[in-house]
Amino acid sequence: MSEQADVPAVLRDELPYRIVRPFRVRFEESTASETIRTAVYLAWVADIAWQHSTALGFGREWYSERGLFWLVRSVRLDVCAPIHTYDGVFVSTRVVGYRRIGARRESEVRDPSGELLARLEIDWVMVNDRGAPTRVPEDFHKFVVEGAASFEMLKVALPAAPPDAVERRFHVHRRDLDPLDHVNNSVYLDYFEEALEAAGQGELLRTVPRRYVLDFASSAERDEPLVGRAWSHESGWAYRLSREDGTEIFRARLYRPG
C-alpha cells in the first residue's frame, strides 16, 4: 500500500512510528440504521495496536514470556462522520507518549480518499501477571517520535447519579467476554449506548460530530450482576457502571464537542 503513488500520504505506513491497515464494516458490526456500531472503533484500534506491537518485535509470545500485558485505561473517541455497512476504511495507530506505567496511542479512521471519519486517543497501562501496574520496559521508548511529550491520563469525574437517572440492571453474558474471561473494553461502550437508548437518546447516537470519553476503573467478569445508570450531565450524558455493592467499574460521558 505504501508503494502506491496514488494513495494519500495519511494512508501510508511510517514504521516504526505509525502503521495503517484496511478494515471493513461487516454486517454484524452494524446498527439497524446501517451505520457502524460505535464499539467497533475500539475493537479496530485494539487489533491494530497488537499488529503494530508485533511488527516491532513485541508479539504475544514476548509478553507471555515476561508476564506482561497492556490494558486499556481510558479513551477519547471523536466520531466525525458516519460509516456504513460494508464500507472499507483505513485505520492507523502510533504511540505518542509514555509514562512510567502507561502509554498513549493515537489512532485515526479515514476513508480511501483520506477523509477523517474518527479519531481516538487511548491510554494503556502495563500490568504484570498478577494484574498489578508495572514499569514500561525502556525498549519501547525508541518507537516514539523524538521529542514526544509526556501526558496526563484521561479521566472521567462524575457526581453521584441523580434520583431520576435511568437505571438498568443486568448480568454479564458469555458473549461479552474476551480471552482473559473479562468483559472486553469495547463491550462497555455497548452498555453505555444501550442505557442511552433506554433514556430516549437514540438520536444522539446518530449525531456527528460527537465525543465519548471512557474511563475503565475495574473489570467485570462472567455472570457478574451489574448496575448501570445514565443521566443528563453538562450539555451531554453521563454513565456509571457499578457492581451491586457500589464499586465502580466504568465511567463515561457523551457530548457534542465545540
What's the sign of the alpha-carbon dihedral 45, 46, 50, 53? positive
pLDDT band at 84 (very low <50, low <70, confident <90, very high): very high
pTM, whole model, 2 decimals? 0.94
Which of these ranges, 72-86, 131-145, 167-181, has the smallest mean pLDDT?
131-145
Q: What percent of the chain has pLDDT over 90?
A: 86
**pLDDT surpassing 70 at residue 89:** yes
Q: Is the pLDDT of residue 4 over 90?
A: no
Distance CA 140, CA 130 (A): 21
How far apart are alpha carbons 21 and 44 in whole angstroms?
10
- Chain centroid to Cα 203, Å, comes to 22
pLDDT for position 151: 85
d(CA 217, CA 73): 7
**pLDDT mean over 77-87:** 98
Average predicted confidence (pLDDT) for the chain:
93
Sign of CA dihedral 178, 180, 185, 190: positive
Q: In whole angstroms, how far apart are CA 37 and each of 79, 143, 144, 169?
A: 11, 32, 31, 22
* CB of 85 closer than 8 Å to CB of 25: yes
Residue with the bigger pLDDT between 143 and 203: it is 203
| DSSP labels, 39-78 | HHHHHHHHHHHHHHHHHTT--HHHHHHHTEEEEEEEEEEE
Q: Is the predicted pLDDT of residue 1 greater than 70, yes or no?
A: no
pLDDT above 80: residue 148? no
pLDDT for the residue 2:
41
- Whether 134 has a pLDDT exceeding 90, the answer reads yes
Q: Which domains does the chain have, with CATH numbers?
A: 9-143 (3.10.129.10), 166-255 (3.10.129.10)
Confidence of residue 147 (pLDDT cuts 50, 70, 90): low
